[in-house]
Amino acid sequence: MKKILLISLGLMLFTSLAFGAEFTLKFSHVVAANTPKGKAADFFAKRLEALSKGRIKVSVYPSSQLYTDKAVMKALILNSVQMAAPSFSKFTRIVPQLSLFQLPFLFKNADQLHRVQDGIVGKQLEQMVTKKGYVALSYWDNGFKQLSSSKKPILLPKDIKGQKVRIMSSKVLEKQFEAVGANPQVMPFSEVYSALQQGVVDAAENPISNLYTKKFYEVQKYLTMSNHGYLGYLVVVSKTFYNSLPKDLQADLKQALKEATTKERIWAKQLNDSNFKDIQAYAKKTGKLKIYTLAKAQRAVWEKDMKTIYPDFYPKNKIGKKLINDVLNTK
């Protein structure tokens, strides 16, 4: 009886706290809770509730429990959900300038990438998205992309010539692989493993975390650490919800997100490093996968060939020459 009473009191307290909140924020994302994005979303939820002293109640819905990345775009406009972190590709139809992050060999390393995202270029892109009915606030990492193949080692552009390479829907990525003579194939992410396994496509580009968690390394014979491109997310809030918050709570939300972003970037690097060690162990144990790292001279050839696509995206209705040059000039 005493135990039942304590449980009842606990439920009453929880209900009181939940309904005592002035605002409710639903954060929808498509990955598992134990991924860098998932962990950062949970951290953000706890931190915002603490900073707002319970005035904002945050509920996180991982693994597409509420919406896919595609569906969440409309849900944010309708304020059916208040926060999400879709991949950049989900925004490029409304803000083509976000294709900037898909350009090959644009970023020297993660430090330069983050200086771009947190600096003037990143803020300009956020403003463009905000004008389209969202409030864009931060960038989260997945990681730099690597090349894999079942056909042959990919060390120079000539090695990928004629290979069918899976890509997500993107004009940048199409032109990127066409520039080196490959045959890009647009395909949903959920179909990639079976397509690689059955030879529907020969090759792919993925961050290490994707390669590992989806076991793509099991159906590829060669992996090249190329760091040729980047995959990330844009954290956005419903404009209707954000504008309903008083200034102090808007500040709390931004502070919680700033702290979550720092955590997410660390967790993303740690996960990629850890997953790479696991892939290396698999390669050593089974002998079924060979891993290569581009030498400086090899990387220079890739850069020369792939950067030839940059002028295709100089028009302002695509990416814009100034934005591209601003990134290249960021030290």
Q: Which CATH number characterizes residue 183's domain?
A: 3.40.190.170
pTM of the model: 0.90
What is residue 308's three-state secondary structure?
Answer: helix
Does the structure show a pLDDT above 80 at 76?
yes
The backbone torsions φ and ψ at residue 198, rounded to the nearest 5 degrees and listed phi first, read -90, -5
Can you give the pLDDT at residue 269?
96
Domain tally, the chain: 1
Please give the Cα distance from 52 to 90 (Å, whole number).
30
Does the structure show a pLDDT above 70 at 159?
yes
Does the structure show a pLDDT above 50 at 3?
no
Average pLDDT over the chain, rounded to an integer:
93
- Rounded-to-10 torsion of CA 290, 154, 213, 136: 150
Digit-coded pLDDT (tens) for 207-234: 999 999 899 999 999 999 999 999 999 9
Does the structure show a pLDDT above 90 at 10?
no
Can you give the pLDDT at residue 20?
74
Can you give the pLDDT at residue 13?
40
Digit-coded pLDDT (tens) for 259-311: 999 999 999 999 999 999 999 999 999 999 999 999 999 999 999 999 999 99
Q: What percent of the chain has pLDDT over 90?
A: 89
The pLDDT-based confidence of 190 (bands split at 50, 70, 90) is confident
Cα-based angle 171, 81, 92 (whole degrees, multiple of 5): 10
Please give the Cα distance from 48 to 180 (Å, whole number).
47
Can you give the pLDDT at residue 19?
52
Does the structure show a pLDDT above 60 at 84?
yes
Does the structure show a pLDDT above 50 at 15?
no
Mean per-residue pLDDT, 234-242: 98
The backbone torsions φ and ψ at residue 38, rounded to the nearest 5 degrees and listed phi first, read -65, -45
| First-residue to last-residue Cα distance in the chain | 67
Report the amino acid identity of residue 74: K
Angle, helices 110-118 vs 120-130, to 10°: value is 50
What is residue 148's three-state secondary structure?
Answer: strand
Does the structure show a pLDDT above 80 at 8?
no
Does the structure show a pLDDT above 50 at 25?
yes
Does the structure show a pLDDT above 70 at 205?
yes
Does the structure show a pLDDT above 70 at 79?
yes
Q: Find the helix or strand (DSSP H, E) in which 218 lies.
A: none
Show the tokens assigned to 302.
């890739």
Residue with the larger pLDDT of the pair 316 and 298: 298
Digit-coded pLDDT (tens) for 106-151: 999 999 999 999 999 999 999 999 999 999 999 999 999 999 999 9
| Structural domain boundaries, residue 272 | 2-328
Report the amino acid identity of residue 313: F
